[in-house]
Structure 1
Amino acid sequence: MNIRFKNYIKLIFAIIILFNSKNTSILNAQGFRGYYQYPDIHDNTIVFTSEGDIWKVSVNGGLAQRLTTHPEEERYANISPDGKTLAYSASYEGPTEIYTMPIDGGITTRWTYESETSSVTNWSPDNKIIYQTQAYNKLPDEQLVTIDLKTRIKSVVPLYQASEGTQNEKGDWIFIRPADHGDAAKRYVGGTARQIWKFDGNNEAVKLTNDYDGESHKPMWYDGRVFFISDRDGIMNIWSMDSDGNNLEQHTKHEEYDVRYANIHEEKSFINMLQIFGYWMYLQVVITRLISV
């Protein structure tokens, strides 16, 4: 990370690692137990999925609070910009649909009836839920949709193939195409490798990751830059580039375990970033302190 970020940005990483048995024994002795997925962060709160339910815990660690208890699994919990609401995906009544609930738990609200899998990807700057689904596409491809929680109006982003989308303050869409191919092959560079694109709402979408034919995905917008996950150094790590796809920077340099999932949250001069690359989860604050969950 460059000096500009070191001077005034705090990075908080929630990392899930696939350990071998030796490493697992070490962490068990320290109290690290669990299989955690799909984390998000806002201020001092982290949410994640474990045992099929959504949990909440402080960035300082400690006892996590279970927010859901439904037999079906909840995924992709994302905290709203104001920190009051959780949007997530669940299959309570058949297909996976979009739901919300208060950040401290409580009554859930269903927002979609797509009859197709709908997965939360993010919140827009103006507090709309962004999700991806195939429900509105004649082709078997994901599209991005927004929901206005005040009016319940849904808007389909005019892109025939777009997923893992986020939106910046100008209204530009940053997304990937094609969608996740589900192939676990390492260093894949085939025709379905995920690439990051930008769409300004008017002109043709442009590809930002022209420098690499392999996997680049999970775009996250912060301070004029696009953070994302890529294996361009051989292992999935966190990278960033400017809004035109230039000035590439590498922010993590893991040499053994892949970053599988990440979320980023802006709060004044802070970046809170979550990374996952396997099974066990821990928090790392400014890469100096481990926090037990």
Structure 2
Amino acid sequence: MGRNWFCVLALALAAPAAAQPARVGDFQRSVDIGKVGKTGAAVRDAAGTYRITGGGANIWGSEDAFRYLSTVRSGDLHIEADVAFLGAGKDPHRKAGLMIRQNLTPGSPYADVMLHGDGLVSLQYREVQDGPTHEIRSNATGAKRLRLEREGAYVFFSVAGADGVLRHAGGNTPIGFAGPYHVGLAVSAHDDAVTETATFANVALRVPTLAHVPDTGYPAAVESTLEVMDVTGAESRRVVRHFDGKIEAPNWTRDGQWLIYNSKGLLYRIPPAGGTPDAIETGPQRKNNNDHGISPDGRWLAISDQSQADDHSRIYVLPIGGSKTPRLVAGHASTPSYWHGWSPDGRTIAYTATRPETNDFDIYAKDLAGGAERRLSTAPGLDDGPEYSPDGRHIYFNSARSGAMQIWRIGADGSDPEQVTRDPAWRDWFPHFSPDGKWIVFISFGLDVALGDHPPNRDVMLRIMPADGSARPRVLTRLFGGQGTINVPSWSPDGKQIAFVSYRLVR
């Protein structure tokens, strides 16, 4: 084996200098990646504009085919350029954009921001060698300038329209680039029988200046992105709207027309396709937190509000369109209550609360018609996030009772506790059922988070598993998030998508 290794090394060292890719402008090499039917090319004119012609079937799936003009860098980096196609093109899915790539194999881990022939702009990424490609679609239109941003373990992107001002497009994902990586400009024809050409003007590679954030928890200033994600197989993410401040906890209305979220104590609604948010009237309740949700018939909204002088969260119900007089339905004079679930028949709510006679947060239920609340969980350790199964037989919740934060379930009357997730490497919170009852989505924190905490601004995952436990949880997506990401039920009525919030530190 050693002899063969020396032969390979000798051949590599003997390769003639002429075989090395030629430098183009500020980039070290211009090469075709993967299998391309037509050879690409790259040149730079006297004004500094790069013109790249590329073939290849696509930048997607588990292997790519495109023309790449790149150089080697390491650490944090922003790359930006004015990007435009030349000619009408053959395929509306042709791509031109900016890319960071671990290596030059077709299946390399990568992240890019791509302008498509039909105007779509998206952040694409492959997390592992030869793995699948994922996507975060922006809501930007008329893009003229793009920027791909690597900051620590995460990649972000920005887009400029006709005014030329780059604005954060929202969404993020961690990519573990190891050591030096390739960065540059890429073009793929999306049809291996042809080539497509794009120009890249005013190209800039910069190391960003990032202010130190001493406390990335609740005091940290953040930007927020409201996103929806397909969970039926494509598992692509789409930006609904990017916000300069903090928003939390989207609900999807039963008719599919709105997403409802909270921000700075108020509730807002916005169409899932994007647009301008509208405030929802909640009367004197103006310190709403991120524990709110919609009745099964879609007519009512439950809120958890802390407007009273003692700052304890209490639960109110109001019409879905808003009201100046929400009705108090659950609360206590000296301890907080946080709504999380609604029984399928609409008659009962489930919530987490602590009471003077207990030291833990437990699961409670109360009939909206009146009567005393019922304590359903009594085991030592925090219980939170109760949600009824669609058949009404069980309440699922997250619990620390085993010494690891996991998903559990009990009967609707509190009987027969049963553990659902069992991976000690993750702290699982907030189980949410698909409308047909077949799937559960939840958020998973790492062991860097305290057992009973679900803080903001952490590396988290959204995971999904069959409700019947027939398969282990699998990762839907990784993101920078946590508290506020998916605290409440957020499935679309057709069961094909979920809504959530990702975050970015203001630095």
Query: TM class, shorter-chain normalised?
Result: 0.7 to 0.9
Report the count of equivalent residues: 248
Taking a change above 3 Å as real, the CA distance of residues 152 and 266 of structure 1, as seen in their structure-2 partners, is: farther
Q: Work out whether residues 36 and 279 of structure 1, in 8 Å CA contact, stay in contact via their aligned partners in 2.
A: no
Aligned to 1:7: none
Aligned to 2:251: 40
8 A Cα contact 1:165 1:175, kept in partner? yes
Contact 1:142 1:160 in 2 (8 A): no
Do structure 1's residue 78 and structure 2's residue 293 form an aligned pair? yes
Q: CA deviation at 1:165?
A: 0.8
Alignment partner, residue 264 of structure 2: 51
Q: Is the 8 A contact 2:295 2:342 kept in 1?
A: yes
Could you say what secondary structure the match of 2:304 adopts? strand
Check 1:229–1:198 CA distance in 2 against 1; reply closer, same or farther (3 A cut).
same
Q: In structure 2, do the counterparts of structure 1 residues 212 and 245 end up closer, same or farther at CA, with 3 Å as the change threshold?
A: farther
After TM superposition, the structure 1 = structure 2 runs for residues 166-245 of structure 1, keeping only pairs within 5 Å, are 166-168=387-389, 169-178=391-400, 193-200=404-411, 201=413, 204-222=416-434, 223-231=437-445, 235-243=459-467, 245=469
- Establish whether residue 108 from structure 1 lines up as the match of residue 326 from structure 2: yes
Residue 264 of structure 1 corresponds to which residue in structure 2? 490
- Find the aligned partners of 2:482 and 2:422 in 1 and give their Cα distance: 21
From the superposition, tell whether residues 177 and 229 of structure 1 become closer, same or farther in structure 2 (CA, over 3 Å).
Answer: same
| Amino acid in the other structure paired with 1:274 | A
Amino acid paired to 1:86: L
Structure 1 residue 273 corresponds to structure 2 residue 498: yes
Q: Could you tell me which residue of structure 2 aligns to residue 87 of structure 1?
A: 302
What residue identity is the alignment partner of 1:275? F
Matches of 2:428 and 2:409 in 1, distance apart?
13
Aligned-pair distance for 1:278?
2.1
CA drift of 1:247 comes to 0.3
Change beyond 3 A, Cα 1:233–1:272: farther
Please say if residues 264 and 271 of structure 1, whose CA atoms lie closer than 8 Å, have aligned partners that are also in contact.
Answer: no
2:314 matched residue in structure 1 = 97
Partners of 1:35 and 1:279 within 8 A in 2: no
Of structures 1 and 2, the one scoring higher in RCO (CA 8 A, sep 6+) is 1
TM-score by length of structure 2 reads: 0.44
- Taking every aligned residue pair, what percent have the same amino acid on both sides? 18
Residues 98, 270 of structure 1: alpha-carbon distance in 2 compared, 3 angstrom cutoff: same
Q: How does 1:5-24 map to 2 (within 5 A)?
A: 23=157
What is the Cα deviation at residue 44 of structure 1? 1.7
Give the counterpart letter for 2:269 in structure 1: K
In structure 2, how many angstroms separate the alpha carbons of the residues matched to 1:35 and 1:266?
22
- Report the Cα offset of residue 48 of structure 1: 0.7
Shift of 1:196: 0.8
**Unpaired segments ≥5 residues, structure 1:** 1-12, 14-18, 180-190, 281-293
- For 2:167, what is the secondary structure of its paired residue? helix
5+ residue gaps, structure 2: 1-136, 138-149, 159-165, 171-238, 449-458
Residues 40 and 46, structure 1, Cα contact 8 Å, conserved in 2: yes
| Aligned counterparts, 1:60-71, within 5 A | 60-67=273-280, 68=282, 70=284
Q: CA 1:84–1:251 in structure 2 vs 1: closer, same or farther (change >3 Å)?
A: farther
Alignment pair present for 1:134 and 2:343: no
Name the CA distance, whole Å, in 2 between partners of 1:217 and 1:140: 20
Aligned mates of 2:410, 2:156 — CA distance in 1 = 46
**What do you get for the CA RMSD once the two structures are aligned?**
3.3
Q: Aligned to 1:229, what secondary structure does the other structure show?
A: strand
How far 1:121 moved relative to its partner? 0.9
* Equivalent residue letter for 1:103: I
Q: 2:467 & 2:168 partners in 1: Cα distance?
A: 39
Give me the TM-score of the superposition, normalised by structure 1.
0.72
Q: Tell me if structure 1 keeps the 8 A contact 2:285–2:306.
A: no
CA distance in 2, matches of 1:177, 1:198: 9
- C-alpha deviation, 1:264, in angstroms: 3.0
Contact 2:302 2:315 in 1 (8 A): yes
